[in-house]
A and B are shown apart, each in its own frame.
Chain A
Amino acid sequence: MTNVYWMESKMELRKMARLKQYSVSTVCFPLMFYIFFGLAMPSSFGSLTLGKYLLATYGAFGVMGATLYAFGAGVAAERGLGWLEVKRASPMPPAAYLVAKAVVSVTFGALVVTLLFALGAIFGGVRMPAGQWALLWIVLVAGAIPFGAIGLTIGNLAGPNSAPGIVNLTFLPMGFLGGLWMPIGFLPKALQHFAQCLPSYHFGQIALAILGVPPQGSVLTHVEALLGFGLVFAGIAWVAQSRDHDKLYG
């Protein structure tokens, strides 16, 4: 039966890689923003060049996007248009469906982070010890997990047509207000306070701490906050899914 998980993930990867609106935009958006804000305007923030600082935050932004779209838009479309029913009527283990979406999120997240690192190292002159590169890479990619729960909540609650819009409305403001587009210190004080309500902010702070940026508050608090968001949304997603099961169609 482990074969099922492998097959489901493999096919999900092929499916999403061929779906240009997912694969191309997931990869290109963070790279483009990083080039505009991190590389095109040489500047520095605190002790870091902007190129290095934004490597962490756009990495977080990219992982967040790959995950929110795969779960949010992906699940909403398949659930709302009947495909999930066909799967649920089959002997597919329900977990395989979610595992496959997670594999896609992590794979595309890893791809975005790797490409950003290459850009930063080659064009942004970003240098750091190998261990630090590795740790940042791992933390960024692992950050997909709580956002998977948020994406799944959208996927289980939104309609198939509205889901992509709702994901955009979640993803883009969360990126900007969480301090992932530009250093959080550039934002007005009121917005800086508000940022603490956003999982994207905590994710960014953890990634920045690895680069030696002193985080606002302790790293542990940010990890706890992110885990908390993940658990709360996993709970909401689960309730939404149970409610949904007996409601579809007449």
Chain B
Amino acid sequence: MPVAELSGVTKRYGEVQALRGIDLTIERGELLALLGPNGAGKTTAVRILLGLSAPTSGEATVFGHHPASHEAKIRRGALLQVAKVPETLKVREHIELFSSYYPNPLPIAETIAAAGLAGLENRLFGALSGGQRQRVLFALAICGNPDLLFLDEPTVGLDVESRRTLWAHIRGFVKRGGSVLLTTHYLEEADALAHRVAVIDRGRIAAEGTPAEIKARTKTSGLEDAFLAIMHGEGNVICESGLAAKEVIQ
């Protein structure tokens, strides 16, 4: 059984059709990257799997449960794009609080180590750098000892070093047996971390496979070229989304 699944999911926000029928499964122990340009529907897919928004049609399940159910919540963690995190709590306090939400959280010290926050425990969140802040959000996502992690553009806006550091911690989570759904528009990030990539464009899955498969099928050497090939409607993995490529690429 997949750890999370979207089947035939569509989502409409007023005039905007954010998802146009998505089928997606996340298997146990894998890191699936959902790759696509801004506005492709990545965040919408994640929000539906987190129970923050209901699909217009289709079905979403997490561990066989409704995404908003307590059973689903206690087995997953999430790092979301958030404009402002309360700044007057210390790193340790944020982690203690989120740990208290879960029945079997990791020991605080373990969470701190797994997110690379040693030495920062007593800093106020407001006094942290961008990379440190993302690592705190990562800590809050893993502190409940989840089996499944949702990471929505976790490294956006980070410098190279901070990005690599966070990658190492994400790999650590997968190595311990966790499953991950990672959304990103950094191709390098998908290439570096993912077992499997699903390219999403204009609310549809345009291609799916291992990074190597996608490169092979589009006869390109890098995932970036493969991505552009898919978006331009070249290669043989193309869905009807190719039509929209001009707008996406500009």
Contact = CB atoms under 8 A, between A and B. Distances in A.
Given A15-B89, A91-B74, A249-B43, A86 B80 contact: yes
A187 to B, nearest CB: 39
Contacts of B74: 91
A246 B47 CA distance: 10
Nearest to A5: B100
Contacts of A7: 96-97, 100
Given A11-B89, A83-B85, A90-B98, A250 B73 contact: no
Interface in B46-86: 47, 50-54, 70, 73-74, 77-78, 80-86
Interface residues of A, number: 28
A233 B218 CA distance: 58
A228 interface: no
A88 interface: yes
B100 A3 contact: yes
Contacts of B97: 7-8, 11
A81 B16 contact: no
Interface residues of B, number: 38
The residue in B47, B52, B54, B93 that gathers the most chain A C-beta atoms within 10 A of its C-beta is: B52
Contacts of B53: 245-246
A14 interface: yes
A77 interface: yes
Contact of B73 (A18, A81, A91): A91
B101 A91 contact: yes
A19 interface: yes
A15 B52 contact: no
Interface of A is mostly: helix
B200 to A, nearest CB: 14
Interface string A215-250: 000000000000000000000000000000111011
B82 A82 contact: yes
B180 interface: no
A92 B140 CA distance: 12
A90 B47 contact: no
A250 B44 contact: yes
B52 A81 contact: no
A83 B82 contact: yes
The residue in A8, A90, A160, A250 that gathers the most chain B C-beta atoms within 10 A of its C-beta is: A90
A85 B51 CA distance: 10
A103 B150 CA distance: 32
B88 to A, nearest CB: 4
A138 interface: no
Interface in A1-49: 3-4, 7-8, 11, 14-16, 18-19
Contact of A250 (B16, B137, B140): B16
Contacts of A15: 86, 88-89
Contact of B93 (A14, A85, A247): A14
B192 to A, nearest CB: 25
A73 B85 CA distance: 15
A82 B84 contact: yes
Contacts of B81: 82
A90 B73 contact: yes
Interface in A60-98: 77-78, 81-83, 85-86, 88-92
A2 to B, nearest CB: 11
Given A11-B97, A92-B101, A86 B82 contact: yes
A119 B198 CA distance: 66
B167 interface: no
Given A89-B73, A90-B73, A250 B84 contact: no
A78 B88 CA distance: 13
The residue in B39, B43, B82 that gathers the most chain A C-beta atoms within 10 A of its C-beta is: B82
Interface of A: 3-4, 7-8, 11, 14-16, 18-19, 77-78, 81-83, 85-86, 88-92, 160, 245-247, 249-250
5 contacts: A82-B80, A86-B78, A90-B101, A91-B74, A91-B101
Give the top 5 A-B pairs by smallest Cβ distance, nearest first: A82-B82, A18-B88, A81-B84, A91-B73, A81-B83
Given A82-B80, A82-B81, A89-B150, 10 more contacts: A3-B100, A78-B86, A86-B80, A89-B51, A89-B52, A90-B78, A91-B70, A91-B73, A160-B84, A249-B43
